Amino acid sequence: MNARSLPRFSGAAILALAAFIAALPSNLLSQTPQTPALTVLSKDGRRPLPLVIVSDQEFVALEDLAAAFQLAVHEEALGALTVSYKGKTIVLTPDQTLASVSGRLISLPAPPTRSGRRWVVPVEFISRALAPIYDSRLDLRKPSRLLIVGDLRVPRIAVRYDPLGTAGRLTIDATPRAATSVAQDAQRLVVKVDADALDLSSALPTPSDQSLIQSVRVVDTTTLAVELGPRFGAFRAASQPVDTTLRTIIDITAAQTTEQPAPPAAPPVTPAPELPSAFLPPTSPLRTIAIDPGHGGEDEGAKGGGGAKEKDLTLSVSRRVKATIEGRLGIRVILTRDDDRNVPIDDRTAIANNNKAELFISFHANGSMRPSTSGATIFSAVFDGAARAAAIAGGGERVPTFGGGLRDIELVRWDLAQTRHVDQSNAFAALIEQQFNGRIPLAKRPSDVAPLRVLESANMPAVLIEMGYLTNPAQEKLLVSDVFQNAVVQSVYDAVIRFRDALAAGGTR
């Protein structure tokens, strides 16, 4: 890391901000109530970067970014805006959401726009356009309005309090993992987190019964305090990693009553309430996932004007998904093909069924006669006769046959394996849409149902993802880019985690 590249903030500004932040309620630490702002955290301290709200979306002024990150902004003839940093260039076009970052296309949730005399860009500009060319790591935490510059350790902290009869349990999750220590200091427990700062985007708990603990509050940038109540007796703390989180459990028990002093001969009585274990053995409800790269071999699928082939795109994304999920979650991922060959549709689901996969994801890219059609769609199977008839009648762009290749949609008997998994398939499709939102351009109707044969014989929750339209020139460029494919992978990864957690909680059964 090059320390010189970090933005410099004046000491006076940091002190003023620190004083201002100290006056705020703890759960608003990362926000400013009057003027919305991102809090920029770097090794030099904190400073605000003002936000401009346009139609409920958060924008930042290019000139503010230029000042904070030593960028040069130029308005070119013909209206283009260039943002340069150390010989690397971002080209923006007013009214266009696509931007070029060192020659690579990225998409923004909204185009650059004027606010008064200033050009403003969506905050995602920081993570999608600036981060790839910047010397230091830029980590935009949009929900908590934090922008972390450089390799600072800023774990997300979530604190929960559960009353358990006469006892209580505090659960403190630090993600990514950060060691915590808990010590009693008079009428409080001091919780120190080994980090540079804390990301407290969720509210700290205030128990309704305050006899054991009264509140949890922020003491300084890396310390929380648990204010103890009048009935507090003792505590016991333990930490354990749970996936990428370090979970610290603080069990709190009430003091013994002294109304009836025990006879001297009696053994000491320690309250030992039955506490549910927070450290259940890691039996994941998701052990195997089948990923299906659509098409292959002589079946090339849809083709773009620039030469991109659906079969190559689906294999590239599928391999990335496999590497990421296996590497980070330890879930086995089966590919229905791992090279350029055609696998019959029924064989694809047979591979998933035979390997007892608990989730099936088929990747495709779409084609349309209309070059302007764009966006991703997540399909799950449909079995209702009327809906199926409607899907066929309304067919058109749902049948990705443009550019050759097999039809994806073939009618099948409706009493096949998928029927019993339809609710979970729809739930998983909704999770994917949620994760795509803001990262991947979506079709007008992002979640849809269709009688897709590759899904209907799958004996597990199953979805088919059409990532976008290769017949749209701008989409073709986007779909073949690393940035886009990695965004698909990250979205699917995040959706899989949520699906797994919902399964573990019995939520989608």
Site string for Zn ion, 294-323 (x = CB under 5 A): x------x----------------------
Exposure class string for 402-441: b at 16+ Cβ within 10 A, else e:
bbebbebbeebeeebbbeebbebbbbbbbbbbebbeebbb
127 half-sphere exposure, CB direction, 13 A CA radius: 18
Q: How far is the CB of 416 from Zn ion (least distance, A)?
A: 20
Q: How far is the CB of 366 from Zn ion (least distance, A)?
A: 7
Restricted to residues 454-473, the positions that interact with Zn ion (CB under 5 A) are none
Q: How far is the CB of 466 from Zn ion (least distance, A)?
A: 7
Q: How far is the CB of 320 from Zn ion (least distance, A)?
A: 18
Q: How far is the CB of 364 from Zn ion (least distance, A)?
A: 3
Report the residue closest to Zn ion, judged by CB.
364
Closer residue to Zn ion in complex, CB, 226/467: 467
146-149: strand order across its sheet: 45-50, 37-42, 146-149, 138-141
Restricted to residues 378-417, the positions that interact with Zn ion (CB under 5 A) are 400
Pairing of strands 462-469, 359-366: parallel
Closer residue to Zn ion in complex, CB, 205/404: 404
Closer residue to Zn ion in complex, CB, 156/364: 364
Residues in the chain, total:
509
Closer residue to Zn ion in complex, CB, 375/400: 400
Q: How far is the CB of 332 from Zn ion (least distance, A)?
A: 25
Closer residue to Zn ion in complex, CB, 348/439: 348
Under 8 Å between Cβ of 352 and 283: no
Closer residue to Zn ion in complex, CB, 194/300: 300
Closer residue to Zn ion in complex, CB, 401/434: 401
Q: Which two tokens stand for residue 67?
A: 């000042």
- CA pair distance 1, 9, nearest whole angstrom: 18
Q: Classify residue 77 by burial, with Cβ atoms within 10 Å: 0-12, 13-18, 19+.
A: exposed
Closer residue to Zn ion in complex, CB, 159/365: 365
Closer residue to Zn ion in complex, CB, 7/371: 371
- CA pair distance 298, 341, nearest whole angstrom: 7
Distances in Å between the alpha carbon of 446 and those of 37, 162, 349, 402? 31, 38, 24, 20
Q: How far is the CB of 400 from Zn ion (least distance, A)?
A: 5
Closer residue to Zn ion in complex, CB, 69/402: 402
Query: Taking every pair of C-alpha atoms in the chain, what is the biggest distance, in angstroms?
Result: 94
Q: Which two tokens stand for residue 458?
A: 């799958």
Under 8 Å between Cβ of 73 and 119: yes
Q: How far is the CB of 286 from Zn ion (least distance, A)?
A: 25
Q: How far is the CB of 299 from Zn ion (least distance, A)?
A: 9
Q: How far is the CB of 292 from Zn ion (least distance, A)?
A: 10
Q: Collapse the DSSP code of 420 into the 3-class scheme (helix H, G, I; strand E, B; otherwise coil) and give the result.
A: helix
Closer residue to Zn ion in complex, CB, 188/303: 303
Q: How far is the CB of 484 from Zn ion (least distance, A)?
A: 17
Closer residue to Zn ion in complex, CB, 126/432: 432
Q: How far is the CB of 301 from Zn ion (least distance, A)?
A: 4
Under 8 Å between Cβ of 70 and 149: no
Q: Collapse the DSSP code of 445 into the 3-class scheme (helix H, G, I; strand E, B; otherwise coil) and give the result.
A: strand
Restricted to residues 265-294, the positions that interact with Zn ion (CB under 5 A) are 294
Site string for Zn ion, 332-371 (x = CB under 5 A): --------------------------------x-------
Closer residue to Zn ion in complex, CB, 296/400: 400
Q: How far is the CB of 348 from Zn ion (least distance, A)?
A: 12
- CA pair distance 501, 382, nearest whole angstrom: 25
Residue type, 427: A
Strand spans (E) along 55-110? 57-61, 72-75, 81-85, 88-92, 98-101, 104-107
DSSP state of 26: G
Q: Collapse the DSSP code of 179 into the 3-class scheme (helix H, G, I; strand E, B; otherwise coil) and give the result.
A: coil
Residue 240 has phi, psi (to 5 degrees) of -150, 135
How many beta carbons lie within 10 A of that of residue 238, not counting itself? 12
Among 157, 140, 136, 133, which Cα is nearest to 51's?
140
In the complex, the residues that contact Zn ion under the rule CB under 5 A are 294, 301, 364, 400
